[in-house]
Amino acid sequence: MLKRRISQILLDWKKSKQNECLLIKGARQIGKTYIIREFGRQHYENFIEINFEQDKNMIDVFDHNLDVNELIAQISLRRSGVHFIPGETLIFFDEIQSCPNARTSLKFWALDNRFDVIASGSLLGINYKAVSSFPVGYERQIQMFSLDFEEFLWAKGIDENAIRSLWTTFDREHFIDPNLNDVMMQYLREYMVVGGMPEVVNTFLETHNYNDVHSVQMKILDDYLNDIAKYAPASDRVKARNCFLSLPSQLAKENTKFQYGVVEHKGTSRKYGNAIDWLRDANIVNFCYNVSKPDFPLVAYRRIEQFRVYGSDIGLLIAMFGYEMKQAVVTDSLQGPAKGGIYENLVADILSKKNYSLCYYLKEDSSVEIEFLIENDAAVVPIEVKAKNRATASLNSILKKESIKKGIKLVTTCGGIEDKKVTMPLYLAMFL
C-alpha cells in the first residue's frame, strides 16, 4: 500500500469532527476510492460503500425524503446484509457527483451524527448547478492529488526523516552536497517521467520498466479522453479534447501562455473558453493566471483572460510528448523550449499539490517574466525556474521592490543565498 499524507488528514477528521461530513475532491484515478476504503476497514467496525456510477438504483433513494432514518430504510431495502451501527460505521458515497441529492443529504447525516460519512467525487466541479442545496457548514472539503514528490520518495523506501533533513541542511548551510544533489536530481527526473498516479507508481516499483509505465499512462490518458467524450457538454466535447491534446504544443513554445490559436488556426476564447474551463473544473489541468502587478494580495491583480495551462500530473504530461521524451528527461539530454515548459509544469505540479493558487507575472513590455508567484506571511514570493543555473535578470529586477522580501530561484545545482535571492535545487520546492 502506498503511503499517502491524506491518511493522516482522514484520521484527524475522525478524531475532531463535529456534525461534519468529509468531501474528497480530485481527478480520476488518483487513489481516492482506495484510500477511503482502507481507512474505513482499518478504523471502523462497519463500512458501507455506495458508488453512484456503478449502483445507479441507489440514486432514487435520495429523490424524496432525506430524513436519515428514511434513507437507512431505503438503502437497506436495496442492499441486503448492510448494518448501521451508531458510532462504529463509516458510510462512503463514491462518485457523488452522479447523485446531486446525495450531496444535499450530507447536511442531514451530519446533523444526525450517528454515523461518519465521507463522500468522494471526480467531476464535482462540472455539475455544481445540479445540486439543489449545498450542505454549507456541514461538509469539510479536501482536495486530493496524485502522489507528490515526497510521497514518491516514500514509495521508493526512502526514510521520511532523511527527506526532511534535506531542508534542515539547506536552511542551515544554504547548500546541498553535490553528490547528494546528483542523487536527488535523478530521483526527481524519475518522478517527472513516472508522475504520481498510483497505478503508474506501483507499475514502476514492481517492474522498473519505463515501457510498462508508459503503457499504463497511455491507458489513463485514454480514460481521460473517454471522460471528456462522456461527461463534457455535447457542444464542447471535441473542443475540450483538442484543448487537452494541445498541451505539449502549448508548453513547447517560448511563451507558454495558453493560446487558442495553437488549438486551432485562428481559434478564439469565444469558441474554446468553455471547453478549457471544463478541463480545469474536471481537475484534468491546472490554470496559472497572469497578474497585472506582483503585489499582495495576488487575487486582486489576477487577469482571468491571461493564463497558462499545466497538466495536473507531470508524468501524464510527459507521456503526452511521446515515449522518447522519457529518455531525454531521465538522461537530462533534453534541449530547446520544451525543456523550459516541462520544468515549469513540474513546479506547477509541486506547488498545486501544496494547495497554492498558481500565478505568474509578465510585464506589459515583456521585459520581466516570473514563472510563479506565491504568498507567504502576507507578502509575495517570486519563483523563477531554471532548468540550468543561468542568469535571472527578471528575478533580480523584481527583487528591487521593497515589498518583496525574498525571491527563489529553482535550479538543478546545489544552491546558495545572495542578498534577497535564495537559489535552491528544484526538489526543495516540495518544502515551500
Q: Kindly write down the DSSP assignment for every residue of 277-341, as one continuous string.
A: HHHHHTTSEEEEEEESSS-SSGGGGEEEEEEEEEESSHHHHHHHT-THHHHHHHTT---SHHHHH
User: Which class for 170: exposed (0-12), middle (13-18), buried (19 or more C-beta within 10 A)?
Assistant: buried
Q: Are 114 and 94 in contact (CB under 8 A)?
A: no
Neighbours of 90 (CB within 10 A): 23
Stated as kind and residue range, the H or E segment containing 370 is: strand 369-376
Are 277 and 329 members of one domain? yes
Q: Are 302 and 219 in contact (CB under 8 A)?
A: no
CA pair distance 166, 161, nearest whole angstrom: 9
How do the pLDDT tens digits run along the chain, 432 residues long?
A: 899 999 999 999 999 999 999 999 999 999 999 999 999 999 999 999 999 999 999 999 999 999 999 999 999 999 999 999 999 999 999 999 999 999 999 999 999 999 999 999 987 766 555 666 778 889 999 999 999 999 999 999 999 999 999 999 999 999 999 999 999 999 999 999 999 999 999 999 999 999 999 999 999 999 999 999 999 999 999 999 999 999 999 999 989 999 999 999 999 999 999 999 999 999 999 999 999 999 999 999 999 999 999 999 999 999 999 999 999 999 999 988 899 999 999 999 999 999 999 999 999 898 999 999 999 999 999 999 987 767 789 999 999 999 999 999 999 999 999 999 999 999 999 999
The CATH number assigned to the domain holding 105 equals 3.40.50.300
Residue 199, in any domain of the structure = yes
Are 245 and 138 members of one domain? no
Are 133 and 187 members of one domain? no
Cell of 255: 511563451
- How many domains in the chain? 2
Residue 413, in any domain of the structure = yes
Grid-cell match 497538466, residue found? 311
Q: What is the DSSP string of 264-276?
A: STT--HHHHHHHH
Boundary (domain end) residue, out of 110, 143, 176: 143
Residue 101, in any domain of the structure = yes
Sign of CA dihedral 163, 26, 37, 317: negative
Cα angle vertex 194, ends 186, 168, to 5°?
Answer: 45
Cα–Cα distances in angstroms (integers) from residue 211 to residues 194, 195, 326, in the given order: 11, 14, 10
Q: Are 314 and 191 in contact (CB under 8 A)?
A: yes
Are 351 and 249 members of one domain? yes
Residue 193, in any domain of the structure = yes
Are 18 and 134 members of one domain? yes
Residue 1, in any domain of the structure = no
Listed residue (192, 170, 194) closest to 181, CA to CA:
170
Are 286 and 207 members of one domain? yes
Cα–Cα distances in angstroms (integers) from residue 213 to residues 89, 189, 197, 216, 418, in the given order: 38, 14, 10, 5, 41
CA pair distance 85, 46, nearest whole angstrom: 7
CA-based R_g, the chain, Å = 23
CA pair distance 8, 10, nearest whole angstrom: 5
Boundary (domain end) residue, out of 112, 143, 174: 143
Question: How many helices and strands, by DSSP H and E, does the chain display?
Answer: 17, 13
Are 124 and 264 members of one domain? no
Are 178 and 292 members of one domain? yes
Boundary (domain end) residue, out of 120, 143, 166: 143
CA pair distance 3, 32, nearest whole angstrom: 13
Residue 167, in any domain of the structure = yes
Domain holding 126, by residue range, is 6-143
Cα angle vertex 63, ends 61, 67, to 5°?
Answer: 70
Are 129 and 199 members of one domain? no
Q: Are 198 and 147 in contact (CB under 8 A)?
A: yes
CA pair distance 120, 106, nearest whole angstrom: 12
Are 125 and 157 members of one domain? no
What predicted TM-score, i.e. pTM, was given to this entire model? 0.94
Are 395 and 346 members of one domain? yes
Are 158 and 137 members of one domain? no
Residue 29, in any domain of the structure = yes
